[in-house]
Amino acid sequence: MKAFRISLCLLIVSALLITAGASFPVQARQAEGTPLIIGVIGVEDSPTARGIQIAAQRLNARGLFNIGGTGYTIQVLARPAATLDELTLAIAGLKESGAVAIFGPNEDSLAKAGNDLLAAAEVPVFIGATDVDVKTGGTLFRTRATDDVMMNALADVLVNDLQQQTILIFQGSEDYSGKVSALRVALTERGIDASTLIQTGDTPMEDVAKSLVEGNSNVIAAFGLPGQVTALLPALHAAGFTGTFVTDALDDPTWVETLPETERDGLYSVTNWTYGSIRQDSIDFTDEYKLTFNDVEPWGLSAAAYDAAVALCIAFQRVGSTDPEAGIAQLLRFTAVDSLQGTFDPSLGGGLLNLNANVIVTSEDGTPSIVARYNGEERLLPENVTPTPTVTNTATNTPTATATLDGVYATVTGTTLNVRSGPGMNYNIVGKLKRGDVVRVIGALPDFSWLLIPFEGGQAWILAQFVTISGDRSTVPIIAVPPTPSGPTATVPPTGEPTADIVFVSATFNPPVPQPNVPFTLAVTIMNQGSVAAPEFAVATSFKPGEVYTAAVVPGLAAGQQTVVNLTATLAGTGVETISVVLDLNQQVNEGIAGETNNQPTVSYRIDRPYMQQSSSTLPPGQNVDFDGGGADVTFSGASLDPSPGSALIQLQIPFTSVHYDQLASIMGSVANGTSSIGGPPAPGVIIGVRTTSGKIGVIQVTGYSGSSIQFNFYIYN
């Protein structure tokens, strides 16, 4: 497969006699020709419009662009749209103006809402939206890889490279549900169950940050508006978070500039392309973009639009016509070739043009660099490593083995990387590596967080977070952690010496009955009944339903003292549950043999929807009751409780205190209106499910009789 710098740019060479990968002067003289208009859904200074402008600038640089003997000047025309009505008008306006293709919209929500409009536009449409629910094909193309491809790459780096196991996700609004869902699926496939906290409009970001930090996660991934993420990051650090921060806000290259300088280092993201790429074609594109647009950095959207616009123009040139159907047919004949993003491949089908994903991390000044590159599920070599081509023996025509790097290597992705005398920030700095440096890995800590390398005639350590590793990591020797510069490490007290003993005292829910989709807190009171102080330890549990993990760190607990640990979570479903609370999650406290046996007390609770009505009633024979104001629901005949024509009853074999909404809704869903009478008459203690004439569901508990009147308690859900 030839490189896109050779292949697609070679197409440009054949048309324009220009050098592949070269920058073109911004002020190049352009002849006036027939306008070849490329439309954009968005504003004229949007990343997409600017990416196409660079493509037009290059294609126009040596004169008129020849299509079928007619000289064209490629132009960009933008029409903004934020709503479905505006999108309809924008498409019609661009077509009326003679646009041969339309780029955008790139927002997932608008692309989903206008999916049918875009598919029926009758000209080639190229969108940068990544949500998998946006359906492409026919005349509708996608210029960037979908969320599932992107998040698979991100999950691979988080779990396999960074060795992270506890990950929490922040979702700023429903618009980001596609990305969050894709990441959770990718993590689940790797054995990681990541919980999600969804921001509500009236929740202060400080409270959101505290809830996330109380989850005791090593990674927090934030998907939301740039302003939300800007507020969340410092709030997390103020709440004590010191782990890895991941955000899609890095797609906007100006976003990092909104952060204090102390907040810019070590931020992770995944994107289709970044201006931090060290490939020469990316450097040339970035330089020309900044020169053209007053030092503004290009977005991933800009690169995606550039790739598609160049390919489309060459397709029109090859068929000698701007006819949409002919242009699309020619575009689909292109085979996989190297592009600015990575690989441009219309043969993928379904309107997909590429599967490029780059996991990136920022350096101290906020500059992004590529940690890992992917083409779909295939992980590619680092940008500065060129695979050695397979050599064929011409005499026997038998291919020889492909040459590869011998061993395991690390490529520096940050601007600079400190080299230290040991695996930790408390060891001395003995030198530095620069971005793009490749070093052999000769050892690693068990979790691969630090790597041992040859350095200046000896050995030294580097932080794995700022390199990408190539080669078989299983061949790397595991090195025991050496003593720190301050002296020997602490030892565990031998058996028989005084120990701490963490025990459970009580647990209280706030609110007492948690509600689904509403944050709640379990306040666990614990005590150290041992004779020595306990060092730092963690308390954790997984709330049901849904196994929502949460944890909190106790900085230490003196002998005889007690403290309250708040475990906060949000659950989606209802239930009556019993969970175990783990008092020393990572067994950091030496509690002796006896003390280790009392560290998992159980707590029972009920999570349920709120009631709209909860009361008791006495019903004489021949009378009915209206539970929710929607009309008569139940009549007592003297011998039975009978449903009204629009309501339903069913006897339950469940304790009154064990019924919850999801369970009851499932049961009542199979009961037809007008059924079933509960006769006998029903004895005291009988539990009955009810669906009212208004469609509400609830529970009746028969408590007894007063003369001939039946008495019962009831509650009706909202």
What does the pLDDT look like over 38-93, one tens digit per residue? 999 999 999 999 999 999 999 988 688 889 989 999 999 999 999 999 999 999 99
Kindly state whether residues 151 and 248 are assigned to the same domain. Answer: yes
Say if residue 236 is in the same domain as residue 291.
no
Reported as a pLDDT band with limits 50, 70 and 90, residue 392 is very low
What would the mean pLDDT of 98-102 be, rounded to a whole number?
97
Strands in 219-223's sheet, in edge-to-edge order, are 195-198, 167-171, 219-223, 244-247, 267-271, 356-362, 368-375, 378-380
Which tens digit of pLDDT belongs to each residue from 258-291? 999 899 999 999 999 999 999 888 999 999 999 9
Cα separation values, 596 from 110, 161, 310, 496, 600, Å: 55, 33, 66, 14, 9
Largest CA distance in the chain: 109
User: Could you tell me if 372 and 158 are in contact, meaning their C-beta atoms sit under 8 angstroms apart?
Assistant: no
Q: Are residues 172 and 238 in the same domain?
A: yes
Domain-embedded: residue 424: no
Residue 552 has pLDDT above 70, yes or no: yes
Q: Are residues 129 and 107 in the same domain?
A: yes
Please name the residues in contact with 582: beta carbons below 8 A apart, sequence gap of 6 or more. Answer: 539, 540, 541, 599, 600
Phi first, then psi: what are they for 196, rounded to 5°?
-120, 135
CATH of the domain at 59: 3.40.50.2300
Assess whether 43 and 93 both reside in one domain. Answer: yes
- Give every CB contact of residue 571 below 8 A, 6+ residues apart in sequence: 514, 516, 517, 520, 543, 544, 545, 546, 548, 607
Quick one: pLDDT at residue 434? 81
561-601: pLDDT as tens digits: 889 999 999 999 999 888 989 898 877 888 875 555 577 88
Give the least confident one: 6-15, 179-188, 479-488, 517-526. Answer: 6-15
Show which of 216, 237, 271 is a domain's final residue. Answer: 271
Cβ of 11: how many Cβ atoms within 10 Å?
Answer: 21
Supply the DSSP string of 246-297, one letter for each residue: EEGGGGSTTGGGGS-GGG-TTEEEEES--TT--SHHHHHHHHHHHHHTTTPP
One domain, residues 53 and 138: yes
| Tokens, residue 371 | 């940690």
pLDDT band at 180 (very low <50, low <70, confident <90, very high): very high
Last residue of a domain, one of 304, 334, 349: 349
Decide: residue 41, CB within 10 A, 0-12 exposed, 13-18 middle, 19+ buried: buried
Which of 564, 588, 607 marks a domain boundary? 607
pLDDT reported for residue 482: 59
Chain-centroid distance of CA 628 in Å reads: 42
Among the residue ranges 7-16, 471-480, 641-650, the one predicted with the least confidence is: 7-16
167 or 446: whose pLDDT is higher?
Answer: 167
Asked, for residue 217, whether it belongs to a domain, the answer is: yes
Which range has highest mean pLDDT (299-303, 427-431, 450-454)?
299-303
Cα(42)–Cα(283) distance, integer angstroms: 26
Q: Is 100 contained in some domain? A: yes
The enclosing H or E element of 528 equals strand 520-528
pLDDT exceeds 50 at position 493: no
Do 280 and 140 fall within a single domain? yes
Number of domains in the chain: 4
Which element (helix H / strand E) includes 38?
Answer: strand 34-41
685 and 560 share a domain?
A: no
Quote the mean pLDDT of the chain: 85
The model's confidence at residue 399, banded by pLDDT at 50, 70 and 90, is very low
Distance in angstroms (rounded) separating the CA atoms of residues 366 and 364: 6
Do residues 190 and 300 share a domain? no
Cα→Cα distances 204→110, 200, 239, 242, 637, Å:
28, 9, 13, 21, 54
430 in a domain, yes or no?
no
User: For residue 108, what pLDDT is reported?
Assistant: 94
Spatial distance between the Cα atoms of 278 and 435, rounded to a whole number of angstroms = 9
* Overall pTM > 0.85: no
Given 3-state DSSP classes, what are the helix, strand and coil percentages for the chain, each rounded to the nearest 5? 25, 30, 45
Predicted local confidence at residue 359, as pLDDT? 97
Query: Is the pLDDT at 226 greater than 50, yes or no?
Result: yes
Angstrom distance (rounded) from CA 55 to CA 41? 17
Residue 409 lies in a domain: no
15 and 135 within one domain: yes
Residue 57's H or E segment, with its range, is: helix 47-59
For residue 594, the domain's CATH number is: 2.60.40.10
The arithmetic mean of pLDDT across residues 158-186, rounded, is 93
Would you say 607 and 574 are in contact if contact means Cβ atoms under 8 Å apart? yes
Report the pLDDT averaged over residues 667-674.
Answer: 90
Mean of the pLDDT values across residues 612-620? 90
Residue 61 lies in a domain: yes
Per the structure, the complete domain to which residue 307 belongs is given by 7-145+276-349
Determine the pLDDT at residue 365: 87
Residues 581 and 632 in one domain: no
Residue 280 domain-assigned (yes or no): yes
How much of the chain exceeds pLDDT 70, in percent?
A: 88
* Structural domain contains residue 377: no
Q: How far apart are CA 83 and CA 608, in angstroms?
A: 37
Q: Averaged over 174-179, what is the pLDDT?
A: 92
Same domain, 29 and 93: yes
The one-character DSSP state at 559 is T
